[in-house]
Structure 1
Amino acid sequence: MAMLEVNCLEKIYKTRLGGNQVQALWDVSFSVEQGEYLAIMGESGSGKTTLLNILAALDRPTSGSVLLDGCDITDLPEKEISKFRRDHLGFVFQDFNLLDTFSLRDNIYLPMVLAGKKPEEMKAKAEPLAKRLGIEDVLDKFPYEVSGGQKQRAAVTRALMMDPELLLADEPTGALDSKATDELLQVFSELHTAGQTILMVTHSTKAASHASRVLFIKDGEVFHQLYRGNSTNEEMYQKIANTLTLLTTGGDENE
């Protein structure tokens, strides 16, 4: 059984006066296996951000279901959603979402603070993760005192503090320079090798080329998908680039 099952998702937005409708997603279905590293790509307005928001339980679909380990998150009562996110999902954002008035350490501790964990438990969890991600020497600095790459690795550390079943990443390399991008993608590859399930939304062909599968969204529908198989990152990059050309020019993915 797949860890994540997305079944027949549709999302329709209505204008304030209800006169017009915009359908952001059309009958989107796919699954994600335990330990898989999935990248989702598509042009701006394709529906990929709407899809991510639904997977993150930040928005609800008009119809369809999202099952994480058999639990339909689209049916969760509002009072349970925040706890569900904290206990089961990890989030990495393009703009880091770190609190500038908190040190990196305190930012990283935040999910466990909200979960009522003890300080010694937080420290025991955070320090090995910080060392693994190469930020153990900057934990007591504030976000404005460190580089973008260090901020993003702190955000990844925070996302892993509650041992999430699913790590969701929204354009995680979008605000990074090339060196920091390479370092973060290496971190993601190591997490994937260690068994972490990752779902990443990205515009970056380079970032997507590190995934084990790439799902392409066009006009709110699944357009195509690529599996890594035995392909190298360079070969995967070229396959993705070719598919993006078809997606933007209106070609047939089967050509």
Structure 2
Amino acid sequence: MSLLEVNHLKKIYTARYGGNSVQALADVNFTIENGEYTAIMGESGSGKTTLLNIIATLDRPTSGTVRLEGQELSTIPERRLAEFRRKNLGFVFQDFNLLDTFSIRDNILLPLVLDRMDLREMDRRLKMLSEQLGLGELLDHYPYEVSGGQKQRAAVARALITNPRLILADEPSGALDSKSTETLLRIFEGINRQGQTILMVTHSTRAASHAGRVLFIKDGIVYHQLYRGNLTVDQFYQKIVDTLTLITTGGRTNA
């Protein structure tokens, strides 16, 4: 069984009082296997953020299904959604979403505190992640005292600390400089090699070139996909650039 299955997903937004309707997703179909690192690319308005929000249970589809390890997400009661996200999904956002009144330590531990986890287990997980992500000297600092790259590493630690089935990353490098971006992308590759499944929405060709597969969204459907295979990051980067050019100009794409 695939980890994530998206079948015939459709989303239509209708304005109040019978206004115009906007179709964000038309018929989206794809699967994600355990341990995959997949990027989603597309022009603004292509539906990729809507797709991510539905997978994150932050929005509901008009029709179609999303299943995580066989569980259809639309059947989860509203009162259980927050718990479901904490236990199954890790989130990394462009704007970090850290609480300025909490230390880096407390921001990372927050999902475990909400689940009332044993303190010893919380400390064990925090120690392991802070060493892995180079956060040991920053744990007692506050978000406003550290750099954007350090904030994003803290956000990655917060996403990982629950041992999620799936990491959802929304433009994770969008607010970072080039050096911090490369550090983040190396971290993503590292945690993926350890078996973590990642689904990332990005405009950045450089970010997408670090993934193992890229899905291209156009007009509310998965228009094309590329597999990295044995290509280097630079080779995959060029292949993505060429594909984006063909999609934009209406040319034919080849797998």
- TM-score, normalization: structure 2? 0.98
Cα distance between partner residues in 1 of 2:218 and 2:246: 11
Q: Give the CA deviation at 1:154.
A: 0.3
Tell me the residue number matched to 2:2.
Answer: 2
Query: Deviations along 1:3-38, whole A, 9 cap, x unmatched?
Result: 100000000000111231111001100000000000
Cα distance between partner residues in 2 of 1:193 and 1:87: 21
Tell me the residue number matched to 2:87.
Answer: 87
Tell me the residue number matched to 2:156.
Answer: 156
Tell me the residue number matched to 2:11.
Answer: 11
Tell me the residue number matched to 2:38.
Answer: 38
2:198 counterpart SS class: strand
1:237 counterpart SS class: helix
1:22 counterpart SS class: strand
2:16 counterpart SS class: coil
Tell me the residue number matched to 1:201.
Answer: 201
What residue identity is the alignment partner of 2:184? L
Tell me the residue number matched to 1:110.
Answer: 110
Cα distance between partner residues in 2 of 1:143 and 1:219: 38
Cα distance between partner residues in 2 of 1:213 and 1:112: 31
2:131 counterpart SS class: helix
What residue identity is the alignment partner of 2:183? E
Cα distance between partner residues in 2 of 1:247 and 1:145: 42
Tell me the residue number matched to 2:236.
Answer: 236
Query: Deviations along 1:123-180, whole A, 9 cap, x unmatched?
Result: 1111110110111111100001111111000000000111000000000000000110
2:45 counterpart SS class: coil
Share of identical aligned residues, percent? Answer: 65
Cα distance between partner residues in 2 of 1:148 and 1:221: 33
What residue identity is the alignment partner of 2:169? A
Which runs of 5 or more residues in structure 1 are unaligned?
none
2:107 counterpart SS class: helix
Cα distance between partner residues in 2 of 1:250 and 1:22: 23
Cα distance between partner residues in 2 of 1:109 and 1:232: 36
Q: Does 1:169 align with 2:163?
A: no
What residue identity is the alignment partner of 1:134? G
- TM-score, normalization: structure 1? 0.98
Question: How many aligned residue pairs are there?
Answer: 255
Query: Deviations along 1:156-206, whole A, 9 cap, x unmatched?
Result: 000011100000000000000011000000000000100000000000000
Cα distance between partner residues in 2 of 1:18 and 1:131: 54
Q: Give the CA deviation at 1:252.
A: 2.3
Cα distance between partner residues in 2 of 1:16 and 1:153: 40
Cα distance between partner residues in 2 of 1:147 and 1:140: 14
Q: Give the CA deviation at 1:102.
A: 0.4
Cα distance between partner residues in 1 of 2:128 and 2:87: 20
Which runs of 5 or more residues in structure 2 are unaligned?
none
In the TM superposition, 1:42-61 aligns within 5 A as 42-61=42-61
2:90 counterpart SS class: strand
Q: Give the CA deviation at 1:120.
A: 2.4
Q: Give the CA deviation at 1:119.
A: 2.4
Cα distance between partner residues in 2 of 1:18 and 1:249: 35
Cα distance between partner residues in 2 of 1:253 and 1:24: 23
Aligned alpha-carbon RMSD (Å): 1.0
1:244 counterpart SS class: helix
Cα distance between partner residues in 2 of 1:58 and 1:248: 30
What residue identity is the alignment partner of 1:45? G
Cα distance between partner residues in 2 of 1:86 and 1:92: 13
In the TM superposition, 1:241-252 aligns within 5 A as 241-252=241-252
In the TM superposition, 1:96-107 aligns within 5 A as 96-107=96-107
